Chains A and B, each alone.
Chain A
């Protein structure tokens, strides 16, 4: 008869596999987004330096750097879970994970932590390269890390939801292009919302991505458009909502188990 094994958790393996998956194509998953962020910095920094008033005594390039770093963290965290899941669904190899004795919490944690890891790696890459342009202060590193982790986890969770929901690559692209991209681009990456007309300031306050960027930027400069505690509260609630929804979808087997 078969010899029984000592069974441990499936979580570390799934996490390692998800990290290894993006590491194997690091040129595409890490180097390319770093280059994109640097191009944004070069173009917007060159065009808008001296023309936009942001926080006191702050150059526009220094203001822009944390926003670009956080935007890269968010977009890449989303890309990691969503692309991994949709590829596995379409090629059919998701069956190997579905056949395994994984709880929905292990599934969620492994995918989201791998997304956080990729987001942070890309964010660090962007930060390191942009230091050649300007060196932003880092007044509160704890806030920086907290918002980077929470933001990446939220976007990792959203990527998981999008990957579960989408049946085709174009559905996922729609989710990314019509929801994630506008929400990140209009979250105050390139400007302080105080420079906007009132109506747009109001609309920006409805965008949860704004609080991720603003709280993250507070960690660098010690100033922000809204209180970092308000940002943290809103981001935490958003994290709980996204995580709850992702876990519910995994538990129910929606579009994964028939």
Chain B
């Protein structure tokens, strides 16, 4: 199977801070892949390099076989990114925002798809509302919609459910899961480990800029949760995460 995201020996530092140290990953097409780690582990730096927001000191990154640095135009068309920060342009309505985002990718007359995204994200009633007037949860939905307007084969979600209510989380995951079933590759970072456990087929854990664990969710649970299972309890990803981060 083709690699949707291929990362080879990425290294990045900000001054004396080593954000990524020789990180390599291979996310296959159609996977729902989790990238976990504590704050400052390097997750956002890794995503920023993939998205072209940040340049690595060394190493290479590919999206659907396209080098994100040497062929950035094509690579960006193949990638949809939901940024972590709740950012928006206060001059425009939701529909204008999505039309502009679509146009930035060179796509015109995209209203059918924009309407479909808005329906799935419960944004239709807010289509003509100014971005400033939206609640935090609604703004988060627009961020997700913006990442999807060009129907990218690879979707990167950088903590998409941070600070949003249960209802949105459920509708968002339902929609993202459907996109994954349709063949989109999903790369997710989140601090909600139960979400990662239920959604991700494979997980990589980063700590201090290094990959410290990489396996299927089932294998991680089996390996690190065995003692809980033996004690008659159910293993969960939180235990796994704590053990790995503690270096056990």
Using CB atoms and an 8 Å cutoff, list the residues of chain A in contact with chain B. 1-3, 5-10, 12-14, 16-17, 20-21, 24-25, 88, 91-93, 95-103, 253, 257-258
| Nearest A residue to B108, CB-CB | A8
State which residues 36-71 of B face A: CB under 8 Å: 48, 51-55
Of B150-158, B204-212, B228-236, the stretch lying at the interface with chain A is B150-158
Q: Is B103 an interface residue (CB 8 A)?
A: yes
A13 touches B104 (CB 8 A): yes
Q: Is B140 an interface residue (CB 8 A)?
A: no
A1 touches B182 (CB 8 A): yes
A100 touches B85 (CB 8 A): no
How many chain B residues touch A (Cβ–Cβ < 8 Å)?
41
In angstroms, Cα B102 to Cα A16, docked, is 13
List 20 A–B pairs whose Cβ atoms lie within 8 Å, in order of A's numbering. A5-B107, A7-B77, A8-B106, A10-B105, A13-B100, A13-B103, A14-B103, A16-B100, A16-B103, A24-B91, A24-B92, A25-B91, A88-B89, A92-B87, A98-B51, A99-B51, A99-B53, A102-B104, A103-B73, A257-B55
The 8 A CB mask of B61-97 against A (1 = contact, 0 = none) is: 0000000000011101101010101011111100010
Q: Is the interface of B mostly helix, strand, loop or mixed?
A: loop
Q: A100 and B91 in contact (CB under 8 A), knowing A5-B151, A257-B54?
A: no
- The listed residue (A10, A93, A253) touching B87 by CB distance below 8 A is A93
Which residues on B sit within 8 Å (CB–CB) of A98? Answer: 51-53
Minimum C-beta distance from B116 to chain A (A):
12
| Nearest B residue to A91, CB-CB | B87
A95 touches B87 (CB 8 A): yes
A99 touches B81 (CB 8 A): yes
B106 touches A7 (CB 8 A): yes
Q: A7 and B105 in contact (CB under 8 A), knowing A21-B91, A95-B53?
A: yes
Which residues on A sit within 8 Å (CB–CB) of B152? Answer: 2
B54 touches A99 (CB 8 A): no
Q: Is the interface of A mostly helix, strand, loop or mixed?
A: loop
Which residues on B sit within 8 Å (CB–CB) of A95? Answer: 53, 83, 85, 87
A2 touches B182 (CB 8 A): yes
| Nearest A residue to B102, CB-CB | A13
B104 touches A100 (CB 8 A): yes
- The listed residue (B83, B91, B104, B183) touching A2 by CB distance below 8 A is B183
Which residues on A sit within 8 Å (CB–CB) of B129? Answer: none
Which residues on A sit within 8 Å (CB–CB) of B54? Answer: 257-258
Q: Please provide the 4 A-B residue pairs with the shortest distance between their CB atoms, ordered closest to farther.
A: A13-B103, A100-B104, A92-B87, A1-B183
Minimum C-beta distance from A3 to chain B (A):
7
B151 touches A3 (CB 8 A): yes
Minimum C-beta distance from A23 to chain B (A):
9
Minimum C-beta distance from B51 to chain A (A):
6
Which residues on B sit within 8 Å (CB–CB) of A9? Answer: 106
Which residues on B sit within 8 Å (CB–CB) of A6? Answer: 107
Q: Is B141 an interface residue (CB 8 A)?
A: no
Which residues on B sit within 8 Å (CB–CB) of A91? Answer: 87-90
Minimum C-beta distance from A84 to chain B (A):
10
| Nearest A residue to B143, CB-CB | A96
Identify which of A3, A13, A21, A97 gathers the most chain B CB atoms within 10 Å of its CB.
A13
Q: Is B202 an interface residue (CB 8 A)?
A: no
In angstroms, Cα B182 to Cα A97, docked, is 27
Which residues on A sit within 8 Å (CB–CB) of B52? Answer: 98-99, 257
| Nearest A residue to B12, CB-CB | A258
In angstroms, Cα B73 to Cα A25, docked, is 32
| Nearest A residue to B75, CB-CB | A101
B184 touches A2 (CB 8 A): yes
Which residues on A sit within 8 Å (CB–CB) of B106? Answer: 5, 7-10, 13, 101
Q: A96 and B101 in contact (CB under 8 A), knowing A8-B107, A257-B55?
A: yes
B153 touches A2 (CB 8 A): yes
Minimum C-beta distance from A249 to chain B (A):
15
Which residues on B sit within 8 Å (CB–CB) of A101? Answer: 72-74, 76-77, 104-106
B107 touches A258 (CB 8 A): no
Apart from A95-B53, A96-B100, 20 more pairs, CB < 8 Å: A1-B153, A2-B182, A5-B151, A7-B105, A10-B104, A10-B106, A13-B100, A14-B103, A20-B91, A20-B96, A91-B90, A93-B87, A93-B89, A95-B83, A99-B76, A101-B105, A102-B104, A253-B55, A257-B55, A258-B53
